[in-house]
Amino acid sequence: MKSQLYILLILIVSFSSIEIAAQSNKKFKGKKRTSKREIRKRQQEGIKRDDTNAFNAKQAMGSRQNDSRDDLLWHGETANTIYRGAANISLVSPSRYGLKSDLELSSAIPLNYWLPNVSIKKRWYNEKWYIASKHGLYSATPGLKWANKQGYTSLVDHAEQIPLILSMKNEILLSRLLINNDRCGRDKPYIILTGGIGVDFGVPFGDSDLEEMKGHFLANRSPALIGSGYTAYAKVRADWQMTNIVMLGGGFKYFNGDFSAKNALEHNLELQTMVFPRASFSVGYLLSIANYTDTNRLGILPFFDLTFYLGKRQARQKGLWGGKMY
């Protein structure tokens, strides 16, 4: 009797194991099998997800929408240079062209008829601090002769001898880029601080009876323009990227040299904004404070400019942690 009970128990356990295994295999096969309809549905969902930004669902993945340019952020008065092959053509400010990644050629093109001019800026260092030197050559002789013929006595007071005058500019610039690390990407605000010192002087090649020019913004530059001496200066400047397309910049410039007032202080402020993808408009003012004998102590001029940007935009020169990306 005992043996029969053992056999019956063994049979019951065996049938139960077989049934459980069969059900497990059935469930496994059911899970493994996927219909073609389900596959197509998953593919379509995957395609949709590829166009979705995981960080911002309202913005597509890929290139950033902000098209800010480094040559908009870095003003011509800073220690950084425009990148190779790019150009800024301005109506008032000096136009710039990148000869190399650290070498920039510039010239105030509209002034070349009266004041032929060319400058070259070399960037020597570009880590946390940017260091550059700027060297220029210009001549006011064509403009002085033209003003003398036209009777502009504030520039030339009936001069009889106007020789060839070559003027030179030498300048050292130091800039620091301050970045707001709270936000990532090209749309974060930038603040650039710049300081510099320089000297302009002119050399006449021949006899001259030219006298100091009259008025603000002219008298303190006369020594170099008419070849009567030198003008040294020190300057500070700040540039702030308010939005992706709006920049606010301004600074102070202190002059000392061989002119009647001996000292002069100038201040400028300008607001620059992109009006087209490759063009910006600037508006601002220039302020001069000096004790000139022939005019008031204060002088002010409005400022307008239009700049066209040529060449491709360059990627950021710094990585997320301040290291070089390339």
Helix (H, G, I), strand (E, B) or coil at 32: helix
Q: What are the CA-CA distances from residue 70 to residues 83, 88, 260 (Å)?
A: 8, 11, 40
Q: Which two tokens stand for residue 279?
A: 């063009």
Instruction: Could you list the beta-strand ranges (E) of the chain.
Output: 87-90, 95-100, 103-107, 117-126, 129-138, 164-179, 190-205, 230-241, 246-257, 263-276, 279-289, 298-310
pLDDT value of residue 86: 92
Any idea where the domains of the chain sit in the sequence?
70-310
Of the candidate ranges 5-14, 79-88, 258-267, 294-303, the one whose mean pLDDT is the lowest: 5-14
pLDDT beyond 70 at 30: no
- 135: CB partners within 8 A, 6+ apart: 119, 120, 121, 168, 169, 170, 171
Per-residue pLDDT tens over the stretch 242-298: 888 899 999 999 999 999 999 999 999 999 999 988 999 999 999 999 998 878 899
- φ, ψ of residue 5 to 5 degrees: the values are -65, -40
Q: Which two tokens stand for residue 156?
A: 């030339």
pTM of this structure: 0.74
Q: Does CATH place domain 70-310 in 1.10.1740.10?
A: no
Per-residue pLDDT tens over the stretch 128-137: 899 999 999 9
Q: What are the CA-CA distances from residue 219 to residues 39, 197, 285 (Å)?
A: 81, 19, 19
Q: Is residue 219 exposed (0-12), middle (13-18) or buried (19+ Cβ within 10 Å)?
A: buried
Q: What are the CA-CA distances from residue 322 to residues 29, 149, 184, 198 (Å)?
A: 54, 57, 13, 30
The residue ranking higher by pLDDT, 270 or 68, is 270
- φ, ψ of residue 258 to 5 degrees: the values are -85, 60
Please, which residues bridge with residue 267 across strands?
A: 252, 287
pLDDT beyond 90 at 3: no
Per-residue pLDDT tens over the stretch 162-208: 999 999 999 999 999 887 555 454 445 589 999 999 999 999 999 99
- How many helices (H) and strands (E) the chain has is answered by 5, 12
Give the H/E segment covering residue 224: helix 222-226
Q: Quick count: other Cβ atoms within 10 Å of Cβ 3?
A: 7
Write 94-97 long-range contacts (CB < 8 A, 24+).
94/119, 96/71
